[in-house]
Homo-oligomer: A and B are copies of this chain.
């Protein structure tokens, strides 16, 4: 099943507009090329509407937010909604500053997102009023970790937030939860070392935008396919490591693995349950 979504990306070659941070932008571009999509980055308010109009999907990432670009995100998102394009939000570090929190909330209020992807702390911050979890910078708070024990709680949170926003919610971490208001998938792929590479989350959001843009009729399963792709490639990349390899080589191996991943491998290696 998951392989169909991957193969659509390679067939359709969606063009993805990214308004994203300057830390991990190069990796986002290369992972989009790896999966069979094409990237374009553009953030000036005077061109984002035109650029997004020629694209298949829009990926908004607030990783290095600045005041100039907030208006561009807003304008591009509204235009994408008008055209019925896919729009993905990656609320990096929401909760770490009021600028990030207010921006993410405003974007969610005025733009209809197809998918919102974050770690558990970020999604809790957006989904719960009076949230007491404290974001540790751009990483999830250890107290929020999704485990086999509290997985139902996290699934319910995702379903309710999906109901509220109309977006597929992707909570990613050691266990990933992908949900719409009715149905949730829990994914058990990946490798702990992925957290030692900057921007694996950003890369995943770019990948999700490509997969959903190439499969717009099925955003939930396309997101599951993208998240499994990233997890499976994290596992495959880990097998390529030798004694001298570290997080920089691992970064390259993850993108290389996305480049080489076949639909058959994805279906064979994907580990998920429906909740």
Q: Are A247 and B251 in contact (CB under 8 A)?
A: no
> What is the copy number of this chain in the assembly?
3
* Chain A interface helix/strand/loop/mixed: mixed
Check A64 for interface membership: any CB of B closer than 8 A: yes
The segment from A22-30, A78-86, A165-173 that touches chain B is: A22-30
Q: Chain A 72-101, CB within 8 Å of chain B: the 1/0 string?
A: 000000000000000000000100111110
A 55-71 binary contact with B (CB < 8 Å = 1; else 0): 10000000111111000
A4 at the interface (CB under 8 A from B): no
- Write out the residue numbers on chain B whose beta carbons fall within 8 Å of the beta carbon of A29: 23-24, 198-199
Enumerate chain B residues within 8 angstroms of A23, measured Cβ to Cβ: 25-26, 29, 39, 41
Q: Which residue of B lies closest to A39 (CB)?
A: B198
Query: Given the complex, which residues of B lie within 8 Å of A247, measured CB to CB?
Result: 30, 33-34, 255-256, 259
Q: Does A138 contact B (CB under 8 A)?
A: yes
Give A271 to B203 CA distance when docked, in angstroms.
Answer: 37
C-alpha spacing A99/B46, complex, angstroms: 7
- Complex-state Cα separation, A33 to B247, whole angstroms: 8
Supply 5 A–B pairs (Cβ within 8 Å), ascending by A: A43-B64, A44-B99, A50-B96, A54-B136, A248-B255
Residues of A within 8 A of B (CB): 15, 21-27, 29-30, 33-34, 38-47, 50-51, 54-55, 63-68, 93, 96-100, 136-139, 196-199, 240, 243-249, 251-260
Beyond contacts A30-B251, A33-B196, A51-B137: 8 other A-B pairs, Cβ-Cβ < 8 A, are A21-B41, A23-B41, A34-B247, A42-B96, A47-B99, A47-B100, A243-B260, A249-B253
